[in-house]
């Protein structure tokens, strides 16, 4: 199987792989992950399969992930689209000055990341999480200055609410600054909330969408039903879903049953569903894989050869349906009742005056 490539978004000509290599598991700084030898095997296999889009962050494994990635890309730096993130820092020392979205933290973080990555530029630089404090003008102007200084080439926002992203996108456009090119969000069969606002917003604005935890941290492999140990125990329940609701149990039941029908694994069904979701978008959507071992990557790349039927896709979409809430439910019911401008307006005015 070969990993294809695509334009990340309508905001730039940057080409990326159809699957990104996530490196949250590269290192043992969190007490759980892959050592350098295993990370090298994963990285080499991903590159051999045609992948060249690498996702890391300063905070992953307390800086080790960036250090590993720096060593791994060194021989052919320019072949890879290197993305990293700032906000939480690598120090883990609890200093308030070394965290957040402020320009102060952005500038010191990018310098520290460049050292760990042993490169003079990061291709795609993300604010990792919103701190809900720093004005979007400050973040966007900070990104623009880093682009002008040649330290980063593109910028994106990860784990920000849609309204902040849309505002930042507009500020960048009106000021003539380098545009935001993409968003990053959790998105998988058990966590589909991004469909409320983030994904429609990104599609409308032409922002690329990179999605983390395609396997819900491992839950969608079904391994925990077989009493296997893994991240659930190793990371103490962080960054992994468990079957704590009937909805999640029903989703996993369906994933496992479709895997049997399609003669593949539950993990590959979960990723094939994700890949299918991008078909209705006019912008790019890239799942970020998170293998901890070479055999996990090998197994997961098999998703590229899985072709689910429309009936199987529909069953997965239906069993993982979630409550969209207001105003989405009203918009959907109005739209379903009256597709066509004048009817929608008549119906909407009826609702507002009723």
Name the minimum Å distance from CB 156 to ligand NAP: 10
DSSP classification of residue 263: T
Closest CA to 191 of 88, 284, 124, 277: 277
- Rounded Cα distance between 209 and 280, Å, is 13
Name the minimum Å distance from CB 76 to ligand NAP: 20
The catalytically annotated residue of 32, 46, 60, 187 is 60
Q: Which of 212, 269, 303, 315 binds ligand NAP (CB under 6 A)?
A: 212
Measured in degrees and rounded to the nearest 5, phi and psi for residue 6 equal -155, 165
Is 60 an active-site residue? Answer: yes
**Residue 213 sits in the site that holds ligand NAP (CB under 6 A):** yes
Inter-residue contact 56 to 29 (CB < 8 Å)? no
Closer to ligand NAP by Cβ: residue 28 or 338: 28
Q: Which of 71, 159, 242, 317 binds ligand NAP (CB under 6 A)?
A: 159
**Residue 218 sits in the site that holds ligand NAP (CB under 6 A):** yes
**Residue 239 sits in the site that holds ligand NAP (CB under 6 A):** yes
**Residue 178 sits in the site that holds ligand NAP (CB under 6 A):** no
SS3 (DSSP) at 276 = helix
Closest CA to 41 of 292, 290, 294: 294
Inter-residue contact 282 to 250 (CB < 8 Å)? no
Contacts of 1 (CB under 8 A, 6+ apart): 49, 301, 302, 304, 305
Query: Within 26-65, which residues bind ligand NAP (CB under 6 A)?
Result: 55
Closer to ligand NAP by Cβ: residue 38 or 334: 38
**Residue 230 sits in the site that holds ligand NAP (CB under 6 A):** yes
- Rounded Cα distance between 29 and 63, Å, is 8
Element housing 20 (H / E): strand 20-22
Alpha-carbon Rg for the chain in angstroms: 21
Q: How far is CA 198 from the centre of its chain?
A: 12
Closer to ligand NAP by Cβ: residue 267 or 306: 267
Q: Which of 291, 294, 303, 316 binds ligand NAP (CB under 6 A)?
A: 291
- Rounded Cα distance between 198 and 148, Å, is 28
Name the minimum Å distance from CB 265 to ligand NAP: 7
Closer to ligand NAP by Cβ: residue 142 or 266: 266
**Residue 292 sits in the site that holds ligand NAP (CB under 6 A):** yes
- Rounded Cα distance between 300 and 51, Å, is 13
- Rounded Cα distance between 162 and 183, Å, is 10
Query: Within 9-28, which residues bind ligand NAP (CB under 6 A)?
Result: 22-25
Binding residues for ligand NAP, total number by CB under 6 A: 30
**Residue 222 sits in the site that holds ligand NAP (CB under 6 A):** no
Beta-carbon count within 10 A of 236 CB: 12
Quick note: the x/- pattern for ligand NAP over 116-155, rule CB under 6 A, is ------------x---------------------------
Catalytic residues: 60
Residues in touch with ligand NAP (CB under 6 A):
22-25, 55, 128, 158-159, 184, 212-218, 221, 223, 230-231, 239, 267, 288-292, 296, 299-300
């Amino acid at each position: 199987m070969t990993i294809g490539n695509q334009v990340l978004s309508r905001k730039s000509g940057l080409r990326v792989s159809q699957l990104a290599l996530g490196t949250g598991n590269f290192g043992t700084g969190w007490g759980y992950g892959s050592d350098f030898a295993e990370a090298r095997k994963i990285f080499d296999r991903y590159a051999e399969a045609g992948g060249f889009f690498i996702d890391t962050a300063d905070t992953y494994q307390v800086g080790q992930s960036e250090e590993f990635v720096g060593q791994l890309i060194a021989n052919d730096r320019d072949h890879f689209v290197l993305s990293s993130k700032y906000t939480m820092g690598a120090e883990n020392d609890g200093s308030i000055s070394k965290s957040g979205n402020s320009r102060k933290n952005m500038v010191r973080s990018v310098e520290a990341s460049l050292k760990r990555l042993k490169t003079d530029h990061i291709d795609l630089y993300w604010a990792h999480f919103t701190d809900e404090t720093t004005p979007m003008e400050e973040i966007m102007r900070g990104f623009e200055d880093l682009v002008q200084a040649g330290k980063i080439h593109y910028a994106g926002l990860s784990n920000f609410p849609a309204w902040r992203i849309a505002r930042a996108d507009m500020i960048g456009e009106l000021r003539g600054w380098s545009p935001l090119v993409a968003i990053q969000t959790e998105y998988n069969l058990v966590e589909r909330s991004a469909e409320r606002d983030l994904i429609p917003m990104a599609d409308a604005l032409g922002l690329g969408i990179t999605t983390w935890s395609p396997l819900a941290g491992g839950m969608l492999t079904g391994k925990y039903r077989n009493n296997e140990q893994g991240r659930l125990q190793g990371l103490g329940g962080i960054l992994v879903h468990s079957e704590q609701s009937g909805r999640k149990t029903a989703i996993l039941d369906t994933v496992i049953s479709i895997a049997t029908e399609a003669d593949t694994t539950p993990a590959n069904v979960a990723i094939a569903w994700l890949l299918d979701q991008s078909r209705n978008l006019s912008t790019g959507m890239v799942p970020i894989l998170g293998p901890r071992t070479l055999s996990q990557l090998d197994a997961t790349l098999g998703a590229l050869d899985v072709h689910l039927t429309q009936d199987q896709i529909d069953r997965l979409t239906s069993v993982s349906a979630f409550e969209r809430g207001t105003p989405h439910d009203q918009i959907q019911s109005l739209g379903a009742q009256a597709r066509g401008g004048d009817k929608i307006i008549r119906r909407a005015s009826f609702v507002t005056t009723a």
